Amino acid sequence: MPTNAGNLEVVHYPDPVLRKKAKPVAGVTDEIRALAERMVQLMYDEEGIGLAAPQVGVSLRLFVAHVPEGDGRSATAEPPTASAGPEVYINPVIAQPEGALEPFEEGCLSLPDIRGSVMRPPVVTITAMGLDGRTFTRRGAGLLARCWQHELDHLDGVLIIDKLSQMERLKLRKKIRALEG
């Protein structure tokens, strides 16, 4: 764990930390709280809707997300497609996917300038621990469910460039190569 979470910044592909399988969080400590706080700050600064700990160089199973309401997204729909505020998901597990896979264009704060269509189930259930140390289970749909799945992928070292169609990967290969330097 970093000693000063306030200094953390978003890391970009091809930083190797983005390819590691992250380790479970052992418990909610002051360091974990400081890490989550910094991640929420960076997520807002960079106008993202989610950010996973490996994206700030910390290989732990934790992500933050805030899918704002609007454009038909609602935090009170059943299941919700947005969240009412920033949320922290520690050691998250996703289960019970429902519905045919749907394409949607995704971006990633660790892959500047790259956007591509990714197929995912439209409804899933997530179980995770919050900063209060309690485990919660929620069902989500739409952009909220998509965001959870994208962030959970980060905890397993998976990036959207792994999930693009061959055609799209071809289209984006110059941009991907530019990032690789």
Hey, which residues are catalytic here?
A: 151
Q: Which residue is nearest to Ni ion (CB)?
A: 108
Q: Phi first, then psi: give them for residue 42, nearest 5 degrees.
A: -65, -40
Q: What is the DSSP letter of 18?
A: G
Contact in structure between 53 and 60 (CB atoms under 8 Å): yes
**How far apart, in Å, are the Cα atoms of 25 and each of 18, 19, 55, 96, 154?**
17, 18, 16, 23, 15
Q: Any contact of residue 43 with Ni ion (CB under 5 A)? A: no
Choices 11-19, 23-31, 75-83, 102-110 (CB under 5 A): range interacting with Ni ion: 102-110
Identity of the residue, 18 or 128, whose beta carbon is nearer to Ni ion in the bound complex: 18
Pairing of strands 50-52, 102-106: unpaired
Q: Any contact of residue 10 with Ni ion (CB under 5 A)? A: no
Q: Any contact of residue 108 with Ni ion (CB under 5 A)? A: yes
Choices 24-32, 80-88, 108-116, 134-142 (CB under 5 A): range interacting with Ni ion: 108-116
Identity of the residue, 64 or 90, whose beta carbon is nearer to Ni ion in the bound complex: 64
The residue ranges that bind Ni ion (CB under 5 A) are 108
